Amino acid sequence: MPHLNLESFNPLTFPTRCGEVEFLFQANYRNPEEGALIATRYKEREFFLVYKNGSKKLLKSDKITRPSPNFILKHALLAYAECSNSPILDSNVDNAPENTHLKTHDALKSISYFANHFPRDKEVRIEVGFGSARHLLHQAAANPDVLFIGLEIHKPSIEQALKQIVIQNLTNIMILDYDARLFLEFVPSNIVGKIYVHFPVPWDKKPHRRVISEAFLKESERALRIGGTLELRTDSENYYRFALETFSLPAISRFDVRKNQEIAIVSKYEDRWKRQEKNIYDVTFTCESESPEPDTIGDFSFSTAPIAPNIIDRLSKETYKRDWGFLHVERTFTIGEEGSMIRLAMGSFDRPESTYVVIENNSAYYYPSLPVRSSANLKAHILLNELIHG
């Protein structure tokens, strides 16, 4: 992860503009000796830089709000050091110009793009964890009338895919840096032709992290149109058996199983498993019924009622568990003399979301972006709003 090791960390006055980067405010850890988060804006992206004051004085990215592509982060780190006159001892950040492949195309989308305007004008196919993107690129080139949405959480894979999209001049791929387990809730019902899950991480020791789950299958069934398919391809016998059990759960479903089926394009993983003569399993679920639209009514606004006294201390003492999920304050911060900020984990147990809420001038708001509009997050928000206002 890009970072700077500073000789000394010098604060800025806020807001400050350094070329294309703006520094908006600083939120200090409750113990300011530990460090601070610096709210940063580059064009329309807002995120936090983190200053950690330990045996080294490190300036790096906040994991929750980390921007993509990496260029933005590197640019912001260097801008902070320069404008605050904080000398750099060493770093792993180069001063390379922005990768023009990333700059000149718009295939990289944010989750809010899908939450606000999910494209519905053509058939959609989704690839979960596209890795080297061989399959995604091949399918998109072979099916120009279909919109492909590629989901991946590994940033170097995303950057490689974006480069290839430009080189191959493909206009029917959208790439999203997002957890596939959260994404499906944003997909309207009955519009997806195929969902590919090829060689997912087996997570044998942490099965709750697997992409395939009962909840994922239910959401896939809702998003798929009649005749649409969810295609799992795996070399892991464990995952295959687990998928069989999971796919057997819903009442209205049909699934087929194949072994060592050849497909048009072979991924890097598949190449490796084939060389090792491993068996490859396909489990394909076919949607047979129409589904209603998802029930996600409500928003993430806070009431304007007065904020309860000592709310930050009270919130941080408890984890609020409910049947739909939970709400937990992980960290607390101070902003200036009067303001505060909390880092929350919230939502469903198997798909928690981390987010920040700023509380100042008797009002509260999520920063830098709203939580994902899932039903569990909306319920967690209702609970938080009640707690904050007493």
Ligand X SMILES: C[S@@+](CC[C@H](N)C(=O)[O-])C[C@H]1O[C@@H](n2cnc3c(N)ncnc32)[C@H](O)[C@@H]1O
* Residue 151 binds ligand X (CB under 6 A): yes
Among 58, 64, 211, 308, contact with ligand X (rule: CB under 6 A): 211
Contact assessment for residue 126 and residue 96, using Cβ atoms and an 8 Å cutoff: no
Listed ranges 221-229, 263-271, 298-306, 343-351: which one lies at the site for ligand X (CB under 6 A): 263-271
CB closest to ligand X, residue no: 129
Among 9, 80, 199, 333, contact with ligand X (rule: CB under 6 A): 199
| Calpha distance 133→125 (Å, rounded) | 14
* Residue 131 binds ligand X (CB under 6 A): yes
* Residue 347 binds ligand X (CB under 6 A): no
Among 132, 160, 334, 354, contact with ligand X (rule: CB under 6 A): 132
SS3 102: helix
Contact assessment for residue 57 and residue 8, using Cβ atoms and an 8 Å cutoff: yes
- Return the number of the residue (153 or 249) whose C-beta is nearest ligand X: 153
Shortest distance, position 274 Cβ to ligand X, whole Å: 12
| Calpha distance 137→162 (Å, rounded) | 10
Among 126, 180, 376, 384, contact with ligand X (rule: CB under 6 A): 180
Structure tokens belonging to residue 165 = 């999209």
* Residue 240 binds ligand X (CB under 6 A): no
Structure tokens belonging to residue 374 = 């899932």
Shortest distance, position 146 Cβ to ligand X, whole Å: 18
Among 66, 74, 125, 198, contact with ligand X (rule: CB under 6 A): 198
DSSP state of 336: T
Contact assessment for residue 37 and residue 19, using Cβ atoms and an 8 Å cutoff: no
Shortest distance, position 149 Cβ to ligand X, whole Å: 11
Report the site for ligand X in 52-81 (rule: CB under 6 A).
none
| Calpha distance 376→346 (Å, rounded) | 8
Q: Which among 95, 93, 110, 106 has a CA at the least distance from the CA of 49?
A: 93
Among 89, 96, 142, 153, contact with ligand X (rule: CB under 6 A): 153
Report the site for ligand X in 100-129 (rule: CB under 6 A).
128-129
Token pair 């908006």 is found at 24
Over the range 201-213, which residues count as b (16 or more CB within 10 Å of their CB) and which as e?
ebeeeeeeebbbb
Where does this chain bind ligand X (CB under 6 A)? 128-132, 151-154, 157, 179-181, 198-201, 211, 267-269
